[in-house]
Amino acid sequence: MDRKKLIVLGSTGSIGRNTITVLKSKKDYFDVRGISAHTDENNLIKLAKTFDIKNICLTGREPSFEEINYKGSGGLIEMIKNTEADIVLNGISGSAGLASSIAALESGKDLALANKETIVMAGDLILNLAKKNNTNILPVDSEHSAIWQLIRGFKKEYISELILTASGGAFRNRSISSLKNVTVNAALAHPTWEMGPKITIDSATMANKGLEVIEAHFLFGMPAEKIKIVINPKSYVHSLIRTIDGYLYSQISLPDMSVPIQNALSWPEILPANSAALELPGISLDFQALDEEKYPIVKSAYYALEKKGAYPLAFNAANEVAVAAFVDDSIAFTDISVLVEKTMEKEWPSKLESFAHIMEVDSQIRRVTEEFIKRTRHN
Ligand code: MG
């Protein structure tokens, strides 16, 4: 394998830290040419020194180190375009990651995508952009990475179902009636994965799985009715596919993001991993059905795919605004799904025409959800 040139975005966040772990052990395979962080300047500089990186961007505040030669969200786009690289790994959290994904594809770089919002917000537009520029979107999300590896072996018409696994989040053992009064800290304690606050809350509500259903629909060109969710509490089974003969194929390993990240970067090759391998004796792979009453937000995600157009965008934007309000202690945990549903009941465009149109509709959606929040404030 030729040494691939990389840009790592969101290098100090949860995906970024796992990426760095991979890169430290794979210096013969990867050459980091550009790096960004939002606010963690000290770690950004440390990483730049470790890997001898010349293009460094801080997006969230004024940099105090002179080595940082790009700043702000505009600077980030410039850095992506100016830096010679084969792959941009996008580990930015939330809708803020979309502009970087566009810049990566527009400048002819493959996109290793941990930022699921890119696909959920921009669906067909982002896929068309990748195609037009002859670039690849390489899934990093563990479920999609699993499916991506599993479908390699089959013609598309042989695959009848994609089955996404979910841990069940922080509240999988709680009763529905006790969810109303859960605290922000309780929602932030994920049972198996250590991740940033937004995605951890999204795991507790199951909005994360909703986003992943939408992501799988676009990435693998599968209709919503062929995308299923099943709970695997220990997170050993990272997803499954079913073929038309009824067989199930699954990808099973310890929960460790470094492997899907490495697979995205090494694609189409597979490299040895440094992380521990799962030993099967004593392991039970129990599955449970998704409780739709407990996780009502999942229904909204399927509704988004039924309506298409701006509805996946509405699902994402309403959820981001609602989660921020919950973290702020302005609404109850159970209000998150209610707000998403109410926002999606509004009329939204049936087609998104351009990336500019996406940003315009995105702010309209956020204003609607914020208006609802003003009326639901619990204190
Ligand atoms: Mg995932």
CB 146 within 8 A of CB 119: no
| Ligand 1 centre distance from Cα of residue 254 (Å) | 14
Q: Spell out which residues have Cβ within 5 A of ligand 1, the ion.
A: 141-143
Say what angle helices 98-106 and 355-376 make with each other, to 10 degrees.
170
**In this structure, are residues 200 and 187 in contact, taking their beta carbons and an 8 Å threshold?**
yes
Give me the phi and psi of 305, to 5 degrees please: -75, -30
Distance 143 CA to ligand 1 centre (A): 5
Distance 329 CA to ligand 1 centre (A): 26
Tens-of-pLDDT digits for all 379 residues of the chain? 789 999 999 999 999 999 999 999 999 999 999 999 999 999 999 999 999 999 999 999 999 999 999 999 999 999 999 999 999 999 998 899 999 999 999 999 999 999 999 999 999 999 999 999 999 999 999 999 999 999 999 999 999 999 999 998 888 888 888 898 898 888 888 777 777 788 889 999 999 999 999 999 999 999 999 999 999 999 999 999 999 999 999 999 999 999 999 999 999 999 999 888 999 999 999 999 999 999 999 999 999 999 999 999 999 999 999 999 999 999 999 999 999 999 999 999 999 999 999 999 999 999 999 999 998 865 4
Dist. CA 178 → ligand 1 center (Å): 26
Angle, helix 297-307 to helix 311-327, in steps of 10 degrees: 150
Residue 83 Cα, ligand 1 centroid: separation in angstroms? 29
> What's the gap in Å between 318 CA and the centre of ligand 1?
20
CA separation (Å) from 24 to 2, 19, 47, 50, 178? 17, 9, 10, 9, 44
Query: DSSP string spanning 182-204?
Result: --HHHHT--SS----HHHHHHHH
Please give the distance, rounded to the nearest whole angstrom, from the Cα atom of residue 81 to the centre of ligand 1.
Answer: 28
User: What's the CA-to-centroid distance between 207 and ligand 1, angstroms?
Assistant: 11
Distance of CA 234 from the midpoint of ligand 1 (Å): 14
SS3 87: strand
Beta bridge partners of 110: 87
The pair of structure tokens assigned to 180 is 């109303």
CA of 18 relative to ligand 1 center, distance in Å: 14
What is the Å distance from ligand 1's center to 212 Cα? 7
CA of residue 305 to ligand 1 center, whole Å:
18
Whole-number pLDDT of residue 201: 93
What's the CA-to-centroid distance between 345 and ligand 1, angstroms?
A: 27
Q: Ligand 1 centroid vs 239 CA: distance in angstroms? A: 10
Cα(138) to ligand 1 centroid in Å equals 14
Cα of 84 vs centre of ligand 1, distance in Å, is 29
Is the alpha carbon torsion for 355, 361, 364, 365 positive or negative? Answer: negative
149's tokens: 């590896």
**140 CA distance to ligand 1 centroid (A)?**
8
CA of 311 to the centre of ligand 1 (A): 21
The Å distance, Cα 265 to ligand 1 centre, comes to 17
